[in-house]
Amino acid sequence: MNRPAMHWAAFVLSLVAVLSVAVALQSFSELGNRRWDLTLQSRLSLSPYSQSVLGELKGPLEIDYYYGRGERIEARDLLELVTEASSQVRYELIDLDRNPQRAKDQGVRRYDQAVLSYDGRERVVPAKTEELLMGGIAQIVQAKARVLYFLGGHRERGLSPGYDDQLGRAAQFLRSEGYDLRTLSLVRGESIPEDASAVVIAGPEVDLVEHELERLDAYLRAGGAVLVLVDPVQLPHFEQWIAKYGLRLSDDVVIDQVNRVEGSDGTNVLVPVYREHEATQALTAPAVLGRARSISTLDGGAGDLGAPVQVVARTMPESFVAAGSARTRAGLVAFDAATDRRGPVGVMGVSIGEDGGRLVVIGDADFASDNFITLLGNRDLLVNVLGWLTGGEASGARVQAEAAAPGPLSPVYVSARLSNLIFWIAVIAQPGVVLLVGIAVVLRRRRRR
């Protein structure tokens, strides 16, 4: 073989070897494919909650997604993430403008709606965002509708939007999670409806009467679930009823002047410590409570792990309990060694009855109000607790409904300690270092002269 032919043969063999290595590397990379989402707010990956919802699928889920002009790619990207997370999901993208009759037959009336078909059930849901789509999937996966009854008649927090101290935004979030929200009155002796998944008592300011507490007792004995959000308000009959289930509410207010919200008097406290419990699993961000009261077991402890009665959430060690809620209203929040108790302080208790009834008591209703619900882990705490009470399996951090494009201003939670640290670094230390360097430079130049 002449020299040119040998060169060509060597070139071909080298090319084949390089291509073989490239194909092998590509094949191995497909087998061990890993993707890192580096976008702000993790927009290219599903939240842990969405993954847990999809993990509940026991059979195939068909999604017919109707999109509008220019929205196909966005819809496809979302549905691709869903199919990657669950092999049970199949989807079809349908142009609503080109298929109006099919949309009408399936009950679709507008863009960005999806028809979900699962286990013989069919539902039309809004699906423009991950949160809306997952809320629809959570609804159709549940064979029985999840109905929350909010007790009324005692000046509780209402569900009407537009009031900072009410639960309007929380109600919106819960509906997007697939809950059906209804109001309930037991004042006239009515029974709790059989379709109730849970009863919510949110911040009563007037004590409950005996026959109302009897109805709640009967509901819990039948395996029901009750969520109590109770502020530092004296409710003797209600507090005695809660004590029957092993939890004590004290007439006090939790104070944390070290980790408080900057500008507050210390009554806004962080709850960073969650005990290992299904009601608080997967909570990673601390909650921010408003004016909270302490919760403990009847023996004053926290309850053993796995016990039917436990305290599952506590404040920081720097916090303390100020005895006498009226005292804190007057602005007296300094620690009194004679009456007050050092932290950490229990603020959430769980009680499970012998008949399977579930009771959760949180010593604050402000955290779920419009003023607080979007702070840190408040929304996650509310939805996780309700998910456990209603028997849902989904857990983890929820999709942030109000995740918007970043702008020039973003809400930031700053404690007093962090504010002081920022002040000393930005206002004192950094300018001081610059000043010292400048003085050193001036002195050195003068010596050279």
For residue 225, give the CATH number of its domain: 3.40.50.880
In the prediction, which pLDDT does 61 show? 92
Q: Are residues 69 and 202 in the same domain?
A: no
Give tens-digit pLDDT for 32-83: 555 655 554 556 677 777 887 888 888 899 999 999 888 888 899 899 999 9
Identify the pLDDT of residue 405.
Answer: 39
What CATH number did the domain enclosing 115 receive? 3.40.30.10
pLDDT at 266: 62
What's the rounded mean pLDDT across residues 329-351?
80
Task: Considering only residues 198 and 328, tell me which one the structure prediction assigns the higher pLDDT.
Answer: 198
Report whether pLDDT(171) > 60.
yes
Residue 257 has pLDDT above 90, yes or no: no
* The pLDDT value given to residue 237: 93
Residues 247 and 328 in one domain: yes
401, pLDDT greater than 50:
no
Whether the per-residue pLDDT at 144 is higher than 60: the answer is yes
Percentage of the chain modeled with pLDDT above 70: 84
Q: What is the mean pLDDT of residues 169-178?
A: 84
Domain that holds residue 79: 40-140
Q: What is the mean pLDDT of residues 150-174?
A: 87
Nearest one of 173, 169, 108, 164 to 135, comparing CA atoms? 173
Same domain, 136 and 163: no
Kindly report whether the global pTM for this prediction surpasses the value 0.85.
Answer: no
What total of structural domains would you count in the chain?
Answer: 2
Lowest mean pLDDT among 229-238, 260-269, 356-365, 402-411: 402-411
**pLDDT at residue 63, as a whole number:** 93
**Least trusted range by pLDDT, from 10-14, 30-34, 318-322:** 30-34
Q: Is residue 134 part of a domain?
A: yes
Within a domain: 269: yes
Same domain (yes/no): 121, 233: no
pLDDT at 398 over 90: no
**212, pLDDT greater than 50:** yes
Res. 157: pLDDT tops 60: yes
The verdict on 70 and 135 lying in the same domain is yes
pLDDT of residue 116: 92
> In the predicted model, is pLDDT for residue 422 greater than 80?
no
Residues 226 and 363 in one domain: yes
Residue 305 inside a domain? The answer is yes
Q: Are residues 84 and 218 in the same domain?
A: no
What is the structure's pLDDT at 407?
41
Give me the mean pLDDT over the 79-97 stretch. 91
Which range, 205-214, 376-385, 386-395, has the best average confidence (pLDDT)? 205-214
pLDDT of 97 higher than 70? yes
Residue 125 shares a structural domain with residue 151: no
**Given a cut of 90, is residue 275 above it in pLDDT?**
no
Tokens 């599903």 belong to 46
Q: Are residues 124 and 205 in the same domain?
A: no
Q: Is 385 inside a domain boundary?
A: yes
User: The dihedral of CA 368, 370, 376, 377: what is its sign?
Assistant: positive
Q: Is the pLDDT of residue 313 over 70?
A: yes
Task: Using the predicted structure, report yes or no on whether residue 205 has a pLDDT greater than 60.
Answer: yes
Residue 129 shares a structural domain with residue 213: no
> Domain boundary at 389, 409, 442, which?
389
Provide the pLDDT confidence category of residue 229 given band limits of 50, 70 and 90.
very high
Q: Can you give the pLDDT at residue 387?
A: 85
Whether the per-residue pLDDT at 411 is higher than 60: the answer is: no
* Residue 317, pLDDT score: 86
Rounded to the nearest integer, the mean pLDDT of the chain is 81
Q: Is the pLDDT of residue 95 over 50?
A: yes
Does position 304 have pLDDT exceeding 80, yes or no?
no
Q: Mean pLDDT throughout 317-328? A: 80
- Answer yes or no: is pLDDT of 390 > 90: no
Average pLDDT over residues 388-405: 57
| pLDDT at residue 279 in the model | 82
Mark which of 120, 140, 160 sits at the end of a domain.
140
